[in-house]
Amino acid sequence: MPAARVIARLDVKAPNLVKGIHLEGLRVMGDPRAFARRYYAQGADEILYVDIVASLYGRNSILDVVRRTAEDVFVPMTVAGGLRSVEDVRQALRSGADKVAINTAAVRDPDLIRRVAEAFGSQCMVVDIQTKRTGAGQWEAYTDNGRERTGVDALEWAERAVALGAGELLITSVDREGTQRGMELDFLALVTRAVDVPVIACGGVGSPAHARQAITEAGVDAVAVASVLHYGKVTIAEIKAQLAASEVAVRVSA
């Protein structure tokens, strides 16, 4: 089994890194590039940049941040937010991104997944599925940074996204995001059993134990972490050390 990845998630509302709870009530944290450098030094396997208002306002203003980050952060970067076309993806890749994560535009035009995968390879095409629990064993996909209902069953959408060419899924629990109370293990386990591509879990990490549970119990390939890093509760190196102590394979920083 490949080594589990620990990914630093940075939500950006230009020009600032911000953090909220349930993707709302945003607090300004500082310069996103400085935080990215810090997490790179701590051993982050990847950086995930999310422009959290791009879909709402129909534009993407995060690429400048990506360009500057690429100058001194040398791990893969994924960019999300406001990407609506193959050309938008091309510009993100030219700015230094290695992958893109698309949510709102993919729900509105599912064939975009296929077009991006054909143009740049499925390894580049990540589908971001933002979920809320709607009942016992039921989750709905949301768009626009967790603001808009779709009426689409989240598990069915995950399966369809992979069938269309997604090479990876980013599962963001809106219910758990920013709470630091643990991840949505039930849904994550359903997804990992249903698809044959890597799954990134996001939302709810409050300790290294939460990351371990998502990997060992729900079967995810990576965990994206934000709040506990931004507030200095734990470092990526500490998360990796505790994963390794639990016999979870992790990538060792050079």
Those residues whose C-beta lies under 8 Å from the C-beta of residue 245, and which sit 6 or more positions away, are none
Under the banding of pLDDT at 50, 70 and 90, the label for residue 19 is confident
Residue 168 lies in a domain: yes
pTM for the model: 0.95
Residue 218, CA distances (Å) to 100, 109, 140, 221, 222 in order: 24, 29, 19, 9, 11
Instruction: State the average pLDDT for the chain.
Output: 94
Under the banding of pLDDT at 50, 70 and 90, the label for residue 20 is confident
Can you read off the two tokens belonging to residue 200? 């990134």
Residue 217, domain extent: 5-245
Instruction: Convert the pLDDT of each residue in 51-74 to its tens digit.
Output: 987 655 545 568 999 999 999 999
Split into its structural domains, the chain has a count of: 1
Residue 251 lies in a domain: no
Residue 253 lies in a domain: no
> Of the ranges 25-34, 71-80, 196-205, 226-235, which one carries the lowest mean pLDDT score?
25-34
Residue 63 lies in a domain: yes
Residue 254 lies in a domain: no
Query: What pLDDT shows up at residue 253?
Result: 67
Query: Average pLDDT for residues 206-221, to the nearest whole number?
Result: 98
Q: Cα–chain-centroid distance for residue 193?
A: 19
Query: What pLDDT shows up at residue 55?
Result: 53
239: CATH: 3.20.20.70
Query: What pLDDT shows up at residue 137?
Result: 94
Instruction: Convert the pLDDT of each residue in 124-172 to its tens digit.
Output: 999 999 999 999 999 999 998 888 999 999 999 999 999 999 999 999 9
Query: What pLDDT shows up at residue 113?
Result: 98
Under the banding of pLDDT at 50, 70 and 90, the label for residue 27 is confident
Say if residues 174 and 22 touch (Cβ distance below 8 Å).
yes
Instruction: Convert the pLDDT of each residue in 91-125 to its tens digit.
Output: 999 999 999 999 999 999 999 999 999 999 999 99
3-state secondary structure string, the chain? CCCEEEEEEEEEECCEEEEEECCEEEEEEECHHHHHHHHHHHCCCEEEEEECCHHHHCCCCCHHHHHHHCCCCCCCEEEECCCCCHHHHHHHHHCCCCEEEECHHHHHCCHHHHHHHHHHCHHHEEEEEEEEEEECCEEEEEECCCCEEEEEEHHHHHHHHHHHCCCEEEEEECCCCCCCCCCCHHHHHHHHHHCCCCEEEECCCCCHHHHHHHHHCCCCCEEEECHHHHCCCCCHHHHHHHHHHCCCCECCCC
Residue 250 lies in a domain: no
Share of the chain above pLDDT 90, in %: 85
Residue 252 lies in a domain: no
Can you read off the two tokens belonging to residue 144? 């626009």
Query: What pLDDT shows up at residue 59?
Result: 55
| Placement of tokens 């890597």 in the chain | 198
Instruction: Convert the pLDDT of each residue in 192-202 to its tens digit.
Output: 999 999 999 99
pLDDT at 254 > cutoff 60: no
pLDDT at 26 > cutoff 90: no
CA atoms within 13 A on the CB side of 52: 25
Query: What pLDDT shows up at residue 77?
Result: 98
Residue 125 lies in a domain: yes
